[in-house]
Structure 1
Amino acid sequence: MTQAPPVPTPPPAPDAPDLSEGWGEQRSRLRKDLRRLDVLFFLICTLVGLDTIGSVAAQGPQGITWMAILALVFFLPYGLLVAELGSAFPVQGGPYVWTRLAFGRLVAGVNQLLYWISNPVWVGGSLCIIALTTWEEFFTPLPGFWKYAAGLIFIWGGALAVVQSVRIGKWVPIAGAVARIVLLGFFLVSVVIFALEHGVHTLPAGEFVPTYAGFVALVPVLIFNYVGFELPSSAAEEMKNPRRDIPLSILRSGLAAVLLYGGPILGILFVLPGKEIGSLGGFIDACKAVFTVYGGSIAADGTVTLTGLGSVFGAVAAAGLIIGLLTSGVTWAMGAHRAQAVACADGAGPAWLGHISEKHGTPVRVNILSAVLASILFVVALNLTDGNGEKYFAAGLGLTICTTFISYVVIFPSLVVLRRKYPNQPRPYAVPGGRLGTWIVAALATGLVAFTVVVLIWPGFGVGWFGTDGNAADSLPASFAGQRAEYTLSQVLPLLLFVGIGLLFYASGRKARAAQRARGESDREDVLTGE
């Protein structure tokens, strides 16, 4: 009896783009040290931003309403979108790889530059100014030289954390997540105690009614606090099981983010009179006010003085807030810098920036360059605004969000394109609803970030049109009142500069691309080869 011929073993499922020979060498230096719980803490630290709580509270109770609406029409679709992309293409570089496979290297390279450079803009901008403001409110003033020194310590302290190996560096987002949970939880407990002793400000039901003017003012900061799901995918090849851990972590962190973000906003509204809530100091001022229940007083003019245990708790909370801000920047940097290194190793940027440290397993050169850029931005912006913290904060935060969201306008549609181009790619999780569901999810996420870019560049877009209430000029940040041209230039000129840098980065990678073409690799589709 003749033996039946053996059944041929099917080729391995394609799961890793072979981006280039250069990245293949760098990939061998990565270390798989991220577990599911690490990814969850990573996402909580990313999603729960402490720098924009005051900005939302400053818009009054309708901020809560819009937060709930956007949770359904943006946060949920966005989470579904990233869960599919992250589990179907679990490759180091995440967003860069998705757009590379969908739209080619030129588009992906310039887009990745925008995604990456928003991090030093954020760290050297709004994060730094809130950290300094918190220090001055709770500890001691920082006159002249000391403000610059403190800002640079904040920036380079974060850079030191980012360069560490993932085994060490993952403790930064863990510490940041714990600091958020403890700080925001203690704040809410203190609000309850404050309410029992002093009562709270009533919030009329009519103030929760959403308006278009409120939407235009709130959509940038609310959506900004709802983004970051894709960041762990930038370190996918450092995870133990990215196909399983990414979707589960997105679900859990999304629920935690809504609770941790919404509670403090309500607390601020209950404690502070609406007219006294500022975008920069709203959360800081609310903390000081509620901590008077442990020791201190509030004068008739609203001045808060903390004493005894109130002063101690205030100092601890201030330290926790500064740690939370620092870890936000570090956690985003851990993802964005890795994606930029992959892009550079792939020929979409200077090859030397694609180097992964053999000692740390991290893109040290990209990390250092980011810290340098953040330092330059911090010093220049502080001088251009003459030390005006509110003005510096508004311009820096607007530019950070705008730059990030322009990159999302390209990243999100890649879901639809990759479904079409690679229909047989294993998808442990897929957006429900088939092709229609995919289009709806991508359209909602892309449309909202695109609209946000418009209202960031031109605050008040559509306000007062077609007989609607409101004045577009009122949508300008308070620190730029009557200065629309100055504000718009603060956004447009840097954006044009960043796009130019992206094109220069791409041009600098021509040798790597030529080498790949000589090996017969496609500039668009050297894509999925099982490793």
Structure 2
Amino acid sequence: MNDLSNKGLKRHKVGLLAVVGTIYSLTAAGAYGIEDMVPSVGPGLCMVMLIIIPLVWAYPQAFVCAEMGSAIPAEGGPYKWVQETCGEFWGFQMGWWRTLGGYFNTVTFVVLASNYMASAFHLTGTQEYIVKIAFIVVFTIVNLRGIKDVAIVNTIISISILAAFTIVAILGFAHYNHSPVQPFIPEGQSLIESIGYGLAIGMWMYGGMEAMSIMSEELEKPQIIPKALMIAIPLIILTYIVPTTAGLSSIGQWDNWGSEGVSYIDVAREYGGPIFFSFFLIVAVLSNVSLFNGYIASTSRGFFVMAADNLCPKFLVKCDKKRGVPYVGVLSVAVVSFIICQFNFTQLVIITVTMSIFASSLTQISGILRRVRKTHPDGPFKLKVSDGVFIAYSSVPFIIGVIALYLNGTDYFLFGIIGVISGPAAYIIIKKVYGGMTSIDPQRYPINPATKLAPGDILRTGVILVMWAILGIIAIFFFPWYEDPAVYAEGYGSPDIFQTFITAIKYLTIAAGIIGIILMIWGKKKDPAKIF
């Protein structure tokens, strides 16, 4: 494995509480966002989904991240795990998909924080943009100071968030007036439709389980990450369910809930008085900027470790000599944030969720393969279940991801095709230009003279394209049956946008299928190798 400690990164002494705080801030940082889930799925189903989603989405990923982070504690986390167990090609795909989505996900929280500020103080569009720029500048500076300062800031913010939601829960339950679980789903809406409307938000709310593991090489004791995960997840579930139940049982009005409608802030305003209302509003903003703060640290190190493997431009490897911070990576996040912070919340989440589905799938595969092939010895943490149980449970997110791809909608699916296909295209170009891992260890990572790529890369590229073609064929028949074109016409302001999406999926499916089959046939003859 490439020793990243030689690239300028420094280890820091960070305690368990600080790591729990960072994981909490990267994954949750309060229940903000659930407000939009309540009217979409119904209060009853919302509560059920908040309990079930972590069991089928968050926990399986957390266990894999815990085992892999313990067995392979390297900077880059999932990227290195996939590279070590599945090979250079899949490692690049994981790093590319996750980091690409990470750039969009990072700025999402700046948008949410500024939206809260704009709503509370009636800011103009220009004033709101200035607030966004200010958040980006301040927390970029914090990250340039190093990972220890990031953990300290996130811990302080996490404690404030927990205190605020604890008070909201107490106030809400003290003024119990309504059933928090009725109706189960909105009237006139099917169960499948309701799940579809809420699944994306739920997955997004429980995302980020692997983020702290990515920075494990900068911790003196990376083995504390698994223990921190086991503490943080139950804390996150309680943070979501308890205040939501309290808010619905006191304020009611479930059908008017939303980030711009009735929410936890109304509980604070109605029952907590002006002082607590002001405090809660401040915490609402801090919740999102803490996520932004943590994700700058995480995302900036995504392309950094790929550059160290000659799979990205070398300038991304540059570190500050005094603090050992990959400052070019941090600044790249800031620059991209400046550009895309004008995107709305929905657009950013569409890209983020779809990319995370495929990136997390490769993480799960790497965890399964390590158990089956015994590629690396167990670390200090190992889930005490049989390999069969581990494989079965670790595979559940695959099913959830496929379901989400279709239930989330046509636009999610189309953007997913474009985002995922960009991975193999970028790999082929970068591998040829920079040489990849072959430049570091040509014996372990040889080149096929016929393709100038690693053996099997053509076959693997074909597999990705054929996979998308199969999913696309299903999509062509499923979406016209499942979705209402009028919803897209209203949302995008174009009466023909839904049909445009379907047509684009058709053409991309045909192209991916034809090219993928050709590459697989040619690859099996001229470029044979294991797919994983």
Alignment TM-score, normalising by the size of structure 2 = 0.76
**Structure 2 counterparts to residues 40-55 of structure 1, below 5 A:** 40-49=20-29, 50-55=31-36
Q: Give the conservation status (yes or no) of the 8 Å contact 1:29–1:356.
A: yes
3-state SS of 1:412 partner: helix
Which residue is 1:395 aligned to?
347
Q: Which of residues 122, 125, 139 in structure 2 aligns to 1:141?
A: 122
3-state SS of 2:382 partner: coil
Which residue is 2:284 aligned to?
321
339 and 206 in structure 1: CA distance in 2 versus 1, 3 angstrom threshold: closer
Q: Which of residues 155, 160, 185 in structure 2 aligns to 1:179?
A: 160
Are 2:114 and 1:132 aligned?
Answer: yes
Q: Determine the C-alpha separation between the residues in 2 that align with 1:336 and 1:323.
A: 19
- Residue 181 of structure 1 and its aligned partner are, at CA, apart by 0.5
Are 2:218 and 1:238 aligned?
Answer: yes
Q: Give the conservation status (yes or no) of the 8 Å contact 2:22–2:154.
A: yes
Q: Determine the C-alpha separation between the residues in 2 that align with 1:51 and 1:202.
A: 17
- Residue 333 of structure 1 and its aligned partner are, at CA, apart by 2.8
Q: Which of residues 275, 291, 301 in structure 1 aligns to 2:269?
A: 291
Q: Which of residues 434, 449, 459 in structure 2 aligns to 1:509?
A: 434
The one-letter amino acid paired with 1:133 is N
Q: Give the conservation status (yes or no) of the 8 Å contact 2:97–2:419.
A: no
**Structure 2 counterparts to residues 45-444 of structure 1, below 5 A:** 45-49=25-29, 50-58=31-39, 59-61=41-43, 62-125=45-108, 127-138=109-120, 140-195=121-176, 199-200=177-178, 203-204=181-182, 206-207=184-185, 211-243=191-223, 245-270=224-249, 271-278=251-258, 280-282=259-261, 285-294=263-272, 310-379=273-342, 381=343, 392-423=344-375, 425-444=377-396
Q: What is the aligned-residue RMSD (CA, Å)?
A: 2.8
- Residue 82 of structure 1 and its aligned partner are, at CA, apart by 1.7
- Deviation >4 Å, runs of 4+: 205-210, 487-508
151 and 493 in structure 1: CA distance in 2 versus 1, 3 angstrom threshold: farther
Q: Determine the C-alpha separation between the residues in 2 that align with 1:499 and 1:398.
A: 21
Alignment TM-score, normalising by the size of structure 1 = 0.76
88 and 114 in structure 1: CA distance in 2 versus 1, 3 angstrom threshold: same
The one-letter amino acid paired with 2:335 is V
- Residue 332 of structure 1 and its aligned partner are, at CA, apart by 2.6
Q: Determine the C-alpha separation between the residues in 2 that align with 1:354 and 1:242.
A: 22
3-state SS of 1:76 partner: helix
Q: Give the conservation status (yes or no) of the 8 Å contact 1:349–1:507.
A: no
Q: Give the conservation status (yes or no) of the 8 Å contact 1:194–1:290.
A: no
Residues 442-470 of structure 1 deviation map (CA, whole Å, 9 limit, x = unaligned): 21123223432343343xxxxxxxxxxxx
Q: Determine the C-alpha separation between the residues in 2 that align with 1:153 and 1:311.
A: 26
- Residue 124 of structure 1 and its aligned partner are, at CA, apart by 2.8
Q: Determine the C-alpha separation between the residues in 1 that align with 2:378 and 2:10.
A: 24
Q: Determine the C-alpha separation between the residues in 2 that align with 1:516 and 1:489.
A: 37
Q: Which of residues 445, 470, 493 in structure 2 aligns to 1:522?
A: 445
Q: Determine the C-alpha separation between the residues in 1 that align with 2:233 and 2:293.
A: 20
Higher RCO, 1 vs 2 (CA within 8 Å, ≥6 residues apart): 1
208 and 137 in structure 1: CA distance in 2 versus 1, 3 angstrom threshold: closer
Q: Give the conservation status (yes or no) of the 8 Å contact 1:114–1:404.
A: yes
507 and 193 in structure 1: CA distance in 2 versus 1, 3 angstrom threshold: farther
Q: Determine the C-alpha separation between the residues in 2 that align with 1:499 and 1:164.
A: 35
Q: Determine the C-alpha separation between the residues in 2 that align with 1:69 and 1:513.
A: 40
Residues 18-75 of structure 1 deviation map (CA, whole Å, 9 limit, x = unaligned): x26xx4531x531232222221111111222444222222322211112222233333
88 and 287 in structure 1: CA distance in 2 versus 1, 3 angstrom threshold: same
- Residue 521 of structure 1 and its aligned partner are, at CA, apart by 4.5
164 and 503 in structure 1: CA distance in 2 versus 1, 3 angstrom threshold: farther
- Residue 401 of structure 1 and its aligned partner are, at CA, apart by 1.4
Q: Determine the C-alpha separation between the residues in 1 that align with 2:209 and 2:23.
A: 7
Q: Determine the C-alpha separation between the residues in 1 that align with 2:156 and 2:271.
A: 27
Which residue is 1:38 aligned to?
18
Residues 498-528 of structure 1 deviation map (CA, whole Å, 9 limit, x = unaligned): 7755665555532x5453245x443689xxx
Aligned residues: 442
The one-letter amino acid paired with 1:73 is V
Q: Determine the C-alpha separation between the residues in 2 that align with 1:162 and 1:497.
A: 29
Q: Determine the C-alpha separation between the residues in 2 that align with 1:136 and 1:323.
A: 14
Structure 2 alignment gaps of length 5 or more: 447-453, 456-532
3-state SS of 1:31 partner: coil
Determine what percentage of the aligned residue pairs are the same residue.
15
Residues 249-275 of structure 1 deviation map (CA, whole Å, 9 limit, x = unaligned): 111111111101112222332324122
Q: Give the conservation status (yes or no) of the 8 Å contact 1:110–1:499.
A: yes
The one-letter amino acid paired with 2:140 is A
Structure 1 alignment gaps of length 5 or more: 1-16, 295-309, 382-391, 459-484, 526-531
3-state SS of 1:34 partner: coil
Q: Determine the C-alpha separation between the residues in 2 that align with 1:171 and 1:136.
A: 28
**Structure 2 counterparts to residues 472-491 of structure 1, below 5 A:** none
- Residue 373 of structure 1 and its aligned partner are, at CA, apart by 1.0
- Residue 327 of structure 1 and its aligned partner are, at CA, apart by 0.7
